[in-house]
Amino acid sequence: MAAPTTAPIDLSAALVMAPTPLADWLVIAPMGLMIGLGAILVMVRHRLHLHGWIAIPGLVALVLLDAMLLWRVAQHGPFTMTAGRWLPPFGISFTADLLGALMALVSALVALAAGIYALRDIDSTGRRYGFFPLLMMLMAGVTGAFLTGDIFNLYVWFEILLISSFGLLILGSERQQIDGALKYAILNLMATTLFLISVGYLYAIFGTLNMADIARQADAHSGTAPLVTLSALFILAFAMKAAAFPVNFWLPASYHTPRVVVAALFGGLLTKVGVYALMRVMVMLFPLQREELSFVIAVSAALTMVVGALGALGQNDLRRMAGFAVIAGIGNVMAGVAIGGTAGVGGAILYALHSIIAMTALYLLVGEAARIGGSWSLQTLGGIYRQAPWITAAAFVIFLATAGLPPFSGLWPKIVLLKAALDIGAWWLSAAILISAFLLTIALGRVFLLAFWRPRPAEMAVAAPSSPEAWQRTAPLAGLVALLFFFGLFPEIPVSLSQGAAASLADPTAYIQSVFPTGGAE
Amino acid sequence: METLFSVLIGVFFSVAIYLMQSKYSVRILLGIAIFGNAVNLLLFTAGRITREIPPIILPGSDILPMTTANPLPQALILTAIVISFSFFCFLLVLTYRGYQELGTDNTDEMRLAEPKNEPLPPLGY
């Protein structure tokens, strides 16, 4: 038995003494909700009729929580909650800043749309496979990656979303899916392992994993430690996750194999988590090293854009065409990271937000086109305009938005990026942005012409749609199209929010302040 | 001790990368297993390997003395081992299933998702 100590131990040197205010719990509420609902859905896996009733209200609640989070961050700046009351950097912190909250909110919107679409698209076999529990875990991983303030924790969220994406990818266990999943799984696992190696080296250099702590120490170490090498490793790992050229080949090999709603989720969310991590690490933690490596990022970005657009031009299968459109979008975001500064990074954030919505809408639309036309192939599709004029109108909006033509949301990020690229004299990068947009316009215009506009080829009998129209299919598409429309016509709010997010990335004083309110433990 | 381990990790990495360059999915899988172990060993060694000195922060100091093993990388490895092990199990099943369904373990012949002679989109109508 230890003798009772006479002096009370001063815990305030190690622990957060004040209880966490209720409002701060908001930052972990989205992940808590998603993991809890995922567990409940696993328990009721065999009561298929309950899945929709649990999952859709859960996703609505996720949207509301993320909206509250964004509201609070926009009003009062970043805020932090640290696990176990251990003072940062020892406890694992969750920090919501403008970038994380914005990405989380848009992802939640997209997940809600996909969840509603899945009510019709995923049959009882797919539900028994566990579509909805996996969707919940995927959203926990995605939201957690956006809101965590600890770099090893970021790795753990990456793994959570990766393992749920494996489950979603092979939903149905078709031969084609297994072929695609094998390539997806191996290459993505290598990317996260590379990320883990970089985290290990980072800890060896800094002795801390807390992002705010790293950000304030980065300058002190930049002269002595091999930070450029470390940054190059991080860039390789995140570029692989984001499907940037030349490590993009897993995406067109796998994204067309799962159910269309799964492909929509992946195309919208997963690659964006990669570019988010790239922005967080390269812009906030290692700004000097980003400057050093910006030429490498820029070349990769330009090639990604052009390769993606050329790939889209060469595809006969609608889903594979959409996969290459995703890659082209990633190139634009990388270009913004390469340009740097508030304008460039703001453009990248804006493009990422637009791309989350547009890519999910594109995949859902392609799914609708195939359902109505009875084929994925441009050779045989045709006459959709006659059968479904409203779907055709949605296609028009989504294609213009994806290609970056006015008056839809794709225009503004491209303008911001072009201006930022010209301002720093990177004429070839702006040329790549324009060429990629031009090629995408041709590719998508051709899809519109062949699949929607031309009369159905004579040798193809008019096939009845494989399943009838339903609001569960049209409502999500209409909602996403409305978002593309709205942000195209009223770009002030997203532009100012993304510029604010970029400014807080470039100067993370407020972020550091929220983690270490009193200067913190050294 | 650390020097020896560094050499060992180098061997692990080169073996893993060599195996992952193979065309055959089983060898790629073995490469991935070794790759994961190489990373774990790397983290383990980076935190110093010693057990003689307990990791106690001395009075008046904020960090561990330089002679002790840092326990944090060991905690990181525990997480990483669990994750890489479960992923390896999944990949093992997936590869076996791929062999059953596709009838080959040669990745060059796995062209089901990306067929060789896919038609080009029509040039006009």
Average confidence (pLDDT) over A213-240: 88
B32 — contact with chain A (CB < 8 Å)? yes
pLDDT at residue A521 in the model: 45
pLDDT bucket at B94, cuts 50 / 70 / 90: very high
CA dist A189 → A133, A281, B86 (Å)? 22, 20, 11
- Overall residue count recorded for chain B in this entry: 125
Mean pLDDT calculated for residue range A71-75: 92
Q: Tell whether the model's pLDDT for residue A175 goes beyond 80.
A: yes
In Å, the largest CA–CA distance within chain B is 83
Is residue A1 predicted with pLDDT exceeding 70? no
Among residues A28, A8, A263, A39, the alpha carbon closest in space to that of A134 is found at: A39
- Quick check: B15 contacting A, CB < 8 Å? no
Handedness of CA A73, A75, A78, A79 (dihedral sign): negative
Return the pLDDT at A56: 94
Confidence (pLDDT) at A231:
93
Please answer yes or no on whether A175 and B43 come within 8 Å at the CB atom.
Answer: no
Which chain B residue is nearest to residue A444, measuring alpha carbons? B121
Distance CA A199, CA A206 (A): 10
Determine whether the interchain pair A176/B28 forms a contact, defined as Cβ–Cβ distance below 8 Å.
no
| Residue A85, Ramachandran bin (φ over 0: left; ψ between -120 and 50: alpha; else beta) | left
Cβ contacts of A203 within 8 Å, gap of 6 or more: A152, A209, B46, B72, B73, B76
Cβ pair A351, A333 in contact under 8 A: yes
Residue type, A478: A
pLDDT, tens digit, for every residue of A340-384?
889 999 999 999 999 999 999 999 999 999 988 888 888 888 888
Q: How many domains does chain B have?
A: 1
The alpha carbon of residue A184 is apart from the nearest alpha carbon of chain B, in Å, by: 11
pLDDT tens track for A389-442:
899 999 999 999 999 888 888 899 999 999 999 999 889 999 999 999 999 999
Closest CA–CA distance from residue A290 to any residue of chain B (Å): 25
Mean pLDDT for chain B? 87
Tokens 């930022």, residue? A420
- Using 50, 70 and 90 to split pLDDT, how confident is the model at B108? confident
Tell me the pLDDT band of A7, cut-offs 50, 70 and 90. Answer: low
Chain B residues with CB under 8 Å of A316 CB are 118-121
Segment (H or E) for A302: helix A287-313
Cβ of residue A175 closer than 8 Å to a chain B Cβ:
yes
Indicate yes or no: CB of B87 within 8 angstroms of CB of A253. no
To 10 degrees, what angle do helices B2-20 and B25-46 make? 160
| Confidence check: pLDDT of A3 > 70 | no
High-pLDDT (> 70) share of chain B, %? 99
Considering only CB atoms, A179 lies closest to which of B62, B91, B110, namely B110
Does the distance separating the beta carbons of A257 and B113 come in below 8 Å? yes
Q: What residues of A are in contact with residue B83 (Cβ under 8 Å)? A: 156, 159
What is the DSSP code (8-state) at residue A285?
I
Are residues A374 and A456 in contact, defined by beta-carbon separation less than 8 angstroms? no
Say how many C-beta atoms besides its own lie within 10 A of residue A258's C-beta.
25
Contacts (Cβ under 8 Å, ≥6 apart) of A425:
none
CB atoms within 10 A of CB B94: 21
Nearest alpha carbon to residue A149 among A202, A88, A216: A88
Cα dihedral: A190, A191, A197, A198 (round 10): 170
What does the alpha-carbon distance between residue A369 and residue A364 come to, in Å, rounded to a whole number?
A: 9
**Confidence label for A464 from pLDDT (cuts 50, 70 and 90):** low
The answer to whether A82 and A91 have CB atoms below 8 angstroms apart is: yes
Per residue in A12-23, pLDDT tens?
A: 777 777 777 777
Which whole number is the average pLDDT over A121-146?
Answer: 92
Q: Is A475 exposed, middle or buried (0-12, 13-18, 19+ CB in 10 A)?
A: middle
Distance CA A15, CA A88 (A): 9
Contact A145, A273 (CB under 8 A): yes
Residue B44 counted as domain residue: yes
- With CB atoms and an 8 Å threshold, state whether A159 touches B101: no
B72 to chain A nearest CA, in Å?
A: 9
The torsion angles phi and psi of A81, rounded to 5 degrees, stand at -130, 135
B20, B90, B114: residue with CB nearest A253: B114
**Interface probe with A: pick from B23, B44, B114, B120, most Cβ of A within 10 Å:** B114
Per-residue tokens: A11: 């815990």
Q: Are residues B62 and A521, on separate chains, in Cβ contact within 8 Å?
A: yes
> Inter-chain contact B120–A182, Cβ cutoff 8 Å?
no
Q: Report yes or no on B121 lying in a domain.
A: no
Mean pLDDT (chain A, rounded): 89
**Four-CA torsion A471, A476, A478, A479, nearest 10 degrees:** 130
Residues 153-172 of A with CB under 8 A from B: 156, 159, 162-163, 166, 170
Contacts of B119 in chain A (CB under 8 A): 316, 377, 379
Smallest Cβ–Cβ distance between A450 and the set B28, B72, B122 belongs to: B122
Is residue A479's pLDDT more than 90? yes
pLDDT at A220 over 90: no
Tens digit of pLDDT for each residue in A176-219?
Answer: 899 999 999 999 999 999 999 999 999 988 888 999 999 888 88
User: What's the token pair of residue A336?
Assistant: 């913004």
The verdict on residue B120 lying in a domain is: no
Residue among A182, A209, A257 whose CB faces B98 most closely: A182
d(CA A209, CA A218): 12
The pLDDT of A144-161, averaged and rounded, is 93
The number of beta carbons lying within 10 Å of the beta carbon of residue A300 is 24
Phi, psi of A374 (to 5 degrees): 75, 20
CB pairs under 8 A between A and B: 109
B19 touches chain A (CB under 8 A): no
pLDDT of residue A522: 43
**Phi, then psi, of B61 in degrees rounded to 5:** -125, 155
Least CB–CB distance from B113: residue in A180, A197, A522: A180
pLDDT confidence of residue A460: 64
In this predicted structure, which of A36-40, A147-151, A377-381 has the lowest mean pLDDT? A377-381
CA dihedral A291, A297, A299, A304 (to 10 degrees): -160
Tell me chain A's radius of gyration from C-alpha atoms: 23
User: Would the CB atoms of B122 and A163 count as touching at under 8 Å?
Assistant: no
Query: Quick check: A163 and B79 CB within 8 A?
Result: no
- Cβ of B98 within 8 Å of Cβ of A179? The answer is yes
**How is residue A464 written in tokens?**
């009845």
Q: What is the mean pLDDT of residues A29-39?
A: 94
Cβ-based contacts of A199 with chain B (< 8 Å): 76
Is B94 within 8 Å of chain A by CB?
Answer: yes
A179 close contact with B: CB closer than 8 A: yes
Name, in order, each residue with C-beta under 8 angstroms of A85's C-beta and a sequence gap of 6 or more.
Answer: A15, A16, A20, A91
Q: Comparing C-alpha atoms, which of B100, B84, B15 is closest to residue A196?
A: B84
Q: CA nearest A111: which of A174, A47, A33, A28?
A: A33
User: A392 vs A191, A217, A401, A463, A478, CA distance in Å?
Assistant: 38, 54, 14, 17, 12
pLDDT of residue A207: 84
Q: CA of B99, closest CA in chain A: separation in Å?
A: 10
In eight-state DSSP terms, residue A180 is H
A250, B111 contact by CB (below 8 A): no
Under a CB-based contact definition with an 8 Å cutoff, are residues A470 and A396 in contact?
Answer: no
- Taking the Cβ of residue B117 and every Cβ of chain A, the question of whether any pair is shorter than 8 Å is answered with no
CA distance A456 to A369: 13
**Where residue A330 falls among pLDDT bands split at 50, 70, 90?**
very high
Angle ∠(A163,B39,A199) on CA atoms, nearest 5: 75
Question: Chain A residue with minimal CA distance to B32?
Answer: A190
Contact A263, A133 (CB under 8 A): no
Pairwise CB contact (< 8 Å): B112 & A175? yes
Strands, E assignment, A252-380: none
CATH of the domain at B34: 1.10.287
Answer yes or no: do B102 and A193 touch at CB < 8 A: no
A156 contacts B113? CB cut-off 8 A = no
Q: Which residue range is the domain that position B80 belongs to? A: 2-52+68-107
Q: What ipTM does this complex have?
A: 0.93
Query: Region A448-454: what's the mean pLDDT?
Result: 89
* CB neighbourhood size of B11 (10 A): 12
Distance CA A134, CA A258 (A): 14
Asked, for residue B59, whether it belongs to a domain, the answer is no
Report the range of poorest mean pLDDT among A43-57, A74-88, A333-347, B35-49. Answer: A74-88
Answer whether residue B17 is part of any domain. yes
Interface test with B, best of A175, A201, A456, A522 (most B CBs within 10 A): A175
C-alpha distance from B65 to closest chain A C-alpha (Å): 13
How far off is chain B from A198, nearest CA to CA, in Å? 10
Q: Would you give the DSSP letter of residue A281?
A: I
pLDDT of residue A55 exceeding 70, the answer is yes
